[in-house]
Amino acid sequence: MQTLFEQEPIQQKTIRHLGDSLDAGLFLHVRQSLVLMSAEDIGHILESMPHRQRTLLWGLIPEKRQGEILNHVADEVRTIFLSQMQPSQVAAAVMGQDADDLADILGDLPNHLYHQVLASMDEQDRQRVAEVLNYPEDSAGGIMNTDTVTVRPAVEVDVVLRYLRLRGKLPRNTDLLYVVDRNDHLLGQISLAKLVTSAPMVLVADVMTEAAAIPANLPDSEVSQLFQRYDWVSAPVVNEQNQLLGRITIDDVVDVIIEDADQSLMNMAGLDEDEDIFSPAHKSAPKRAFWLGINLLTALLAASVSSYFEETFKQLATVAVLMTIVPSMGGIAGNQTQTLIVRGIALGHIGGSNARWLLGKETLVGLFNGLLWSSVIALAVFLWKGNWLLGAIIGAAMTINMLVAGVAGASIPLLLRKFGIDPAVAGGVVVTTITDVIGLFTFLGLATYFLIP
């Protein structure tokens, strides 16, 4: 009981202590510390260590614990470990694991290893995993487990209880028994809570409830929305004939939720969602280079817009000084709108029915804030440079650009989604490019027209 009270504050201390011991070569000591730790804790520690220490620590973990620990580290960390193992080691490590975890691990392997590992697995594991491998990794079938407990409708509650006692241990996170006919068609479900509170002589058919069956090909993000909306702990997965294939448990759904959230956050910053913060610099740098390259292109595009106005800069250098303000505000406003829309899409709140309303609303928001901050900047520029016309020009340009930011921020993500492009990945750069170009062009154009003789 006391473990948790003591454990939390020392978590980071433990990691530091283990890291120091690894650096000092006290391998025996580290090995002894690991014995008492759970697979979850070791996974967390591995994820929190720089590459070199991580590899050392992994080497000290007994082979028979490696498989379980593999399930508690991020995909990218796992891939590194797997690539250093022999096929037979991988097969031994993953023996007897949940089918969805097995499928995940196999999916991370390079092609030649994949077949070798599959060949070294025992028949039972191979069959279990084959069912899951039939479906894409990001579908209900890909995250399901095949370890369902099924009962028939015509038996009594008491019989079910005796059967369960004979059967012994239930699979992890079992909250529901599934009621199926002899051809595995799903008829209903009965919760353990219902089972233990029902009279012994009642028939299963009389206490079972309708099962909310998930089709195996449903995308995992929709599965996670269903779990969130209905507060499920587990749910059955069926094929098109309504035959029970397996079940999805909340812990796997939580992983999907976190992955999806991370993905939005990371992609909007131009990062690979699998990027491991502790991978060495020479591996991280190339992953981020692409996004920087795209940004360099858009920055050059913006520069090519302003290069039309070199004559203006020569005559009125103040215009050059002020030219970054309008695009910058447009970029921020566009990003706010875009983030809100991307999130609304992810939550399933946005569809044909309200998209037009949203576009109108965001345009209005852009206009309101455009007018507000345009007045402020117009006044500031007038006070700073003593030129009221220049103030009016920058104010007008800012209003226009923030209006554009509202329209682009709302419509670009929706358009991208229509074309099947992830708005979190591509939306930001498209919206920023638009606000940069329009912002520069409006401000420099107006300034040149009105101020340059």
172 is an interface residue for a copy of itself by CB under 8 A:
yes
258 is an interface residue for a copy of itself by CB under 8 A:
yes
* DSSP, residue by residue, 274-296: T--TTS-HHHHHHHHHHHHHHHH
**Interacting span for a copy of itself (CB under 8 A) from 26-34, 110-118, 125-133, 369-377:** 369-377
What does the block give as tokens for 370? 């455009």
Distance, CA of 35 to CA of 61 (rounded, Å): 9
37 is an interface residue for a copy of itself by CB under 8 A:
no
Distance, CA of 151 to CA of 188 (rounded, Å): 10
User: What are the E-state strand segments in 162-202?
Assistant: 176-180, 186-191
214 is an interface residue for a copy of itself by CB under 8 A:
yes
Residue closer to a copy of itself (CB basis): 139 or 369: 369
Beta bridge partners of 178: 150, 189
Give the three-class secondary structure for 189.
strand
Residue closer to a copy of itself (CB basis): 1 or 112: 1
Angle between helical axes of 388-418 and 352-385 (0-180°, round to 10): 160
- Binds a copy of itself by CB under 8 A, chosen from 23, 40, 63, 206: 40
- Binds a copy of itself by CB under 8 A, chosen from 35, 112, 123, 167: 167
281 is an interface residue for a copy of itself by CB under 8 A:
yes
Cα R_g (the chain), whole angstroms: 29
- Binds a copy of itself by CB under 8 A, chosen from 211, 248, 400, 414: 211
- Binds a copy of itself by CB under 8 A, chosen from 299, 379, 389, 452: 299
Q: Which residues within the stretch 320-349 sit at the binding site for a copy of itself (CB under 8 A)? A: 320-325, 327-329, 332-333, 335-336, 338-341, 343-344, 347-349
The residue assigned the tokens 């309008």 is 326
Distance, CA of 131 to CA of 134 (rounded, Å): 6
285 is an interface residue for a copy of itself by CB under 8 A:
yes
What does the block give as tokens for 110? 């390079």
**Interacting span for a copy of itself (CB under 8 A) from 25-33, 56-64, 88-96, 363-371:** 363-371
For the window 87-126, what string marks contact with a copy of itself as x by the rule CB under 8 A?
----------------------------------------
Beta bridge partners of 247: 145, 236
Angle at the Cα of 379 from the Cα atoms of 377 and 383, rounded to 5 degrees: 115
Q: Cβ of residue 339: shortest distance to a copy of itself, in angstroms?
A: 4
Q: Cβ of residue 254: shortest distance to a copy of itself, in angstroms?
A: 6
Give the three-class secondary structure for 74.
coil
36 is an interface residue for a copy of itself by CB under 8 A:
no
